[in-house]
């Protein structure tokens, strides 16, 4: 059977009830013909879930079981709601309310506000930034644009999680949230002041639409009863993305009834940072013990090769995360195998992708059917440049153009001013960084997430560009860098025509293309370096799954060993690719961390995939380095570890470099736990390569053997040539420039 997963059905479709079922596969037909709830549909990517639920509604209407006006179908985007209405119209059904949660709630709020409160409903303000900035000012906080953006997002998270300023701190600490670097107590005070400012203005925000509607339904039983008489049958799409607040509103709409059909895929839960939770989908059978469960498994979108890769990725999910997983079964003819390509650096990767895009276009693939997807918006700059240089029209989706971002424009102004002020007697890379510091750049990556992190990444990209210009033109000045920036900016204005899509993985959710390029598939980017712990890492895996399943036929995955041309090749392929790439098919063990016995380029990853104590998968780079999960107690001698720390402090102080440049804490733990007694033993510890073995190996072995750490460090400093200090400084610079990669700081 051939099906499509998008587009309207034929307007000439017969309108008889039985005819509505004719075009469905057996599982879809089961969904469509199950007209009473509760019904839970686990629908994998590309399996035709929208077709199934719209045909269910149409079949119910044509069979006389449903009255169209008594059906409310809710989803998460206006585009999805519009597609649902179009399909229902083409199936001969009119009058069904297909809306987003917010649109449905706002309609009810406007209708019932005069009855419940009196007068007209308050205005819904389109943006929170102004009020967040005013609340911050009253607290005497110094907040820039990016911090305000992150705090506005935190307001949304708190509200959809149904938290008050009083309950926020404990919940935020449990979730590890630190928006704009504020502690939980300070953020709670800002949340309270934000509500005060909002009340003074007499406005409500987007989340208040749901909160106030839920409050009206709860406090006014007669209004709740009116709504429940109006809507008797409910359908919720993308149910894995429901927040606690949306679930609360849905419960109030239902009023204890069970005429509910939910559709979702737990393997596509990628918005937990916004408050979305798959627990409502996973716990649906518990809440409704009589619920029928249907799995849609036939994938009509992607070729068997793409589907096989997606399934194999999820095969490696830890058992605790496999609940409600859908194993896809491809329905399309065979296509080309996915490709895995390693490049020397980000520039080479972007250029290689541009060449492959041109080749696909020459083969007849329309540019609008090609997408290049990345993890962070900061990755778009070299891709935009490569597409422009190759003459490929492109569209940037889900984020501002790199050169349109405010922090980039401000940084270029600073660089232009410094260039006009005269020559600086410093290498270009260092001179540019000195200027960028006044724009907010720091040598150490920002630990915060969201806009603050994106701002740092944008400025770091400019610092990296300065290194590239300096490498290509020794002796280049700030004026040369400004000229390069001007030329790049002018060349990267995409034509106002359809072109190749450049998008983040998050913004690609719900879309599909004939050809998809997944770029930056290296540790530190996929999973992102900020993903600490198993839960966060598994969400990153799901994000990669979403990216893979966007492709219909052509799928290309790639990564770069270095960030800049000529830079240190410290990056490693993503752990998620272990066992998927041809080089690692036989070596990847099950579990989250995987194991790559021979990475491309001949480098071996020796860290075990599972905790040597409890056998649990090792999720973070630090865990894999020591071979033990954070939950298990250390097995090293405390005195040995403290001696190593004392030695490291003495060495780093003598060389005037940060301690982590010598060895990270994770490396010290690994040394203390394994206590190697020769250089060969040191070589088996990740993070201790040939250079560090040569520089520090004998010292480390002496400390492990019981020697006084201060004496060892002092003796080494006295005998070290000046070149060693220069090498340490170079190592510091390299470590800083590569710090956005999780593995870079520990690599040699």
Question: Which of 19-28, 256-265, 395-404, 606-615 is predicted with the least confidence, judged by mean pLDDT?
Answer: 606-615
Q: Is residue 559 part of a domain?
A: yes
pLDDT at residue 398 above 70?
Answer: no
Specify the CATH number for the domain of residue 194.
1.10.10
pLDDT (tens digit per residue) in 673-715: 888 888 888 888 876 877 788 888 889 999 998 888 888 888 8
Q: Is residue 435 part of a domain?
A: yes
Of 182, 203, 224, which residue constitutes the final position of a domain?
203
Q: Is residue 232 part of a domain?
A: yes
pLDDT (tens digit per residue) in 324-362: 788 899 999 999 999 999 999 999 999 999 999 999 999
Say yes or no: 93 and 138 in one domain. no
Q: Which helix (H) or strand (E) holds 123?
A: strand 123-124
Vertex 305: Cα angle to 301 and 306 (nearest 5): 50
Say yes or no: 553 and 647 in one domain. no
> What number is the average pLDDT over the span 154-183?
88
Residues of the chain with pLDDT > 90, as a percent, come to 40
pLDDT (tens digit per residue) in 96-146: 999 999 999 999 999 999 988 888 888 998 889 899 999 999 988 888 888
Specify the CATH number for the domain of residue 677.
1.10.150.80
Among 57-71, 631-645, 734-748, top mean pLDDT goes to 57-71
Number of domains in the chain: 5
Specify the CATH number for the domain of residue 597.
3.40.50.300
Say yes or no: 93 and 25 in one domain. yes
pLDDT at residue 226 above 90?
Answer: yes
Q: Are 329 and 307 contacting, i.e. CB atoms less than 8 angstroms apart?
A: yes
> What number is the average pLDDT over the span 524-550?
89
- Mean confidence (pLDDT) of the chain: 82
Please name the residues in contact with 660: beta carbons below 8 A apart, sequence gap of 6 or more.
Answer: 735, 745
Vertex 251: Cα angle to 249 and 255 (nearest 5): 120
Q: Which domain holds residue 188?
A: 126-203
Vertex 527: Cα angle to 526 and 530 (nearest 5): 125
Render the burial of 522-544: b for 16+ CB within 10 Å, e for the rest: bbbbbbbbbbbebebbbbbbbbb
Check residue 728 and give its pLDDT. Answer: 39
Q: Is residue 287 part of a domain?
A: yes
| Residue 485 DSSP code | H
Alpha-carbon distances, residue 248 vs 213, 215, 273, 571, 594 (angstroms): 10, 10, 19, 45, 39
pLDDT-derived band at 516 (thresholds 50, 70, 90) equals very high
Say yes or no: 741 and 622 in one domain. no
Say yes or no: 697 and 730 in one domain. yes
Higher pLDDT, residue 659 or 584: 659
Q: Is residue 479 part of a domain?
A: yes
Say yes or no: 578 and 505 in one domain. yes
Q: Are 498 and 368 contacting, i.e. CB atoms less than 8 angstroms apart?
A: yes
Q: Is residue 304 part of a domain?
A: no
Say yes or no: 499 and 477 in one domain. no
Of 491, 517, 540, which residue constitutes the final position of a domain?
491
- Distance, in Å, from the CA atom of 380 to the CA atom of 373, rounded to the nearest integer, reads 9
Say yes or no: 418 and 397 in one domain. no
Check residue 545 and give its pLDDT. Answer: 95
Check residue 176 and give its pLDDT. Answer: 80
Check residue 598 and give its pLDDT. Answer: 34
pLDDT-derived band at 284 (thresholds 50, 70, 90) equals very high
Q: Is residue 252 part of a domain?
A: yes
pLDDT at residue 535 above 50?
Answer: yes
Q: How many of the other CB atoms lie within 10 Å of CB of 615?
A: 10
Say yes or no: 194 and 86 in one domain. no
Of 431, 457, 491, which residue constitutes the final position of a domain?
491
Torsion angles phi and psi, residue 219, rounded to 5: -90, -15
Q: Is residue 3 part of a domain?
A: no
Residues of the chain with pLDDT > 70, as a percent, come to 82
Q: How many of the other CB atoms lie within 10 Å of CB of 66?
A: 21
| Cis peptide, bond prior to residue 38, ω within 30 of zero | yes
Higher pLDDT, residue 360 or 18: 360
pLDDT (tens digit per residue) in 594-607: 333 333 333 333 33
- Distance, in Å, from the CA atom of 685 to the CA atom of 702, rounded to the nearest integer, reads 17
Say yes or no: 199 and 235 in one domain. no
pLDDT (tens digit per residue) in 567-583: 888 899 999 998 888 86
Say yes or no: 58 and 168 in one domain. no
| Residue 634 DSSP code | P
Say yes or no: 512 and 591 in one domain. yes
pLDDT at residue 220 above 60?
Answer: yes
The secondary structure of 169-212 as a DSSP string is: HHHHHHHT--GGG--HHHHHHHHHHHHHHHHHHTEE-HHHHHHH
């Amino acid at each position: 059977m051939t099906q499509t997963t998008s587009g309207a059905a034929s307007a000439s479709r017969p309108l008889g009830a039985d005819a509505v079922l004719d075009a469905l596969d057996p599982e879809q037909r089961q969904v469509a013909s199950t007209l009473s709830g509760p019904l839970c549909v686990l629908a994998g990517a590309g399996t035709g879930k929208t077709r199934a639920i719209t045909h269910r509604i149409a079949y119910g209407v044509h069979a006389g079981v449903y009255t169209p006006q008594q059906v409310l179908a809710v989803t998460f985007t206006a585009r999805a709601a519009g597609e649902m209405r179009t399909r229902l119209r083409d199936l001969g059904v009119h009058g069904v309310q297909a809306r987003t949660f917010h649109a449905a709630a706002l309609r009810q709020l406007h209708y019932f506000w005069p009855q419940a409160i009196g007068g007209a409903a308050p205005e819904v303000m389109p943006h929170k930034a102004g009020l967040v900035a005013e609340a911050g000012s009253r607290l005497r906080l110094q907040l820039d644009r990016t911090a305000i953006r992150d705090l506005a997002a935190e307001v949304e998270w708190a509200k959809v999680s149904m938290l008050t300023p009083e309950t926020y701190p404990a919940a935020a600490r449990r979730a590890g949230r630190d928006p704009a670097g504020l502690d939980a107590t300070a953020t709670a005070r800002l949340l309270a002041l934000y509500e005060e400012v909002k009340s003074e203005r007499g406005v409500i925000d987007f989340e208040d639409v749901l909160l106030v509607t839920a409050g009206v339904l709860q406090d006014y039983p007669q209004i709740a009863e009116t709504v429940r008489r109006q809507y008797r049958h409910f359908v919720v799409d993308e149910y894995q993305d429901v927040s606690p607040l949306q679930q609360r509103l849905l419960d109030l709409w239902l009023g204890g009834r069970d005429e509910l059909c939910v559709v979702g895929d737990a393997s596509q839960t990628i918005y937990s940072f916004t408050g979305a939770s798959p627990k409502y989908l996973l716990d649906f059978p518990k809440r409704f013990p009589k619920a029928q469960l249907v799995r849609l498994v036939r994938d009509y979108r992607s070729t068997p090769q793409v589907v096989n890769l997606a399934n194999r990725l999820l095969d490696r999910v830890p058992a605790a995360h496999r609940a409600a997983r859908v194993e896809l079964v491809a329905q399309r003819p065979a296509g080309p195998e996915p490709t895995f390509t390693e490049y020397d650096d980000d520039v080479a990767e972007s250029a290689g992708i541009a060449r492959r895009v041109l080749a696909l276009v020459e083969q007849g693939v329309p540019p609008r059917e090609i997408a290049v997807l990345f993890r962070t918006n900061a990755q778009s700059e070299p891709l935009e440049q490569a597409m422009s240089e190759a003459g490929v029209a492109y569209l940037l989706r889900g984020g501002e153009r790199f050169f349109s971002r405010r922090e980039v424009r401000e940084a270029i102004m600073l660089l232009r001013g410094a260039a006009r002020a005269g020559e600086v007697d410093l290498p270009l890379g260092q001179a540019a960084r000195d200027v960028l510091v006044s724009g907010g750049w720091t040598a150490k990556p920002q630990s915060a997430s969201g806009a603050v992190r994106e701002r740092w990444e944008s400025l770091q990209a400019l610092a990296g560009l300065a290194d590239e210009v300096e490498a290509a033109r020794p002796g280049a000045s700030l004026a040369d860098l400004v000229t390069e920036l001007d030329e790049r900016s002018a060349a990267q204005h995409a034509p106002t025509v359809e072109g190749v899509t450049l998008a983040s993985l998050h913004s690609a959710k719900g879309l599909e293309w004939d050809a998809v390029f997944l770029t930056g598939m290296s540790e530190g980017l996929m999973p992102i370096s900020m993903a600490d712990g198993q839960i966060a890492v598994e969400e990153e895996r799901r994000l990669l799954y979403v990216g893979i399943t966007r492709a219909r036929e052509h799928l290309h995955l790639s990564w770069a060993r270095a960030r800049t041309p000529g830079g240190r090749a410290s990056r490693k392929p993503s752990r998620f690719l272990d066992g998927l790439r041809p080089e690692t098919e036989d070596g990847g063990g099950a579990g989250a961390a995987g194991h790559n016995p021979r990475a491309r380029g001949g480098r071996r990853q020796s860290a075990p995939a599972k905790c040597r104590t409890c056998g649990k998968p090792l999720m973070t780079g630090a865990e894999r380095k020591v071979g033990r999960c954070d939950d298990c107690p250390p097995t090293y001698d405390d005195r040995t570890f403290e001696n190593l720390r004392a030695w490291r402090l003495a060495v780093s102080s003598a060389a005037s470099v940060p301690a982590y440049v010598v060895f990270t804490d994770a490396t010290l733990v690994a040394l203390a736990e394994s206590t190697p007694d020769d250089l060969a033993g040191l070589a088996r510890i990740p993070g201790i390569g040939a250079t560090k073995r040569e520089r520090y190996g004998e010292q480390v072995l002496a400390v492990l053997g019981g020697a006084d750490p201060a004496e060892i460090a002092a003796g080494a400093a006295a005998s070290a040539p000046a070149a060693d200090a220069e090498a340490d400084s170079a190592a510091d610079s390299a470590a800083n420039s590569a710090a956005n990669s999780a593995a870079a700081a520990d690599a040699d």
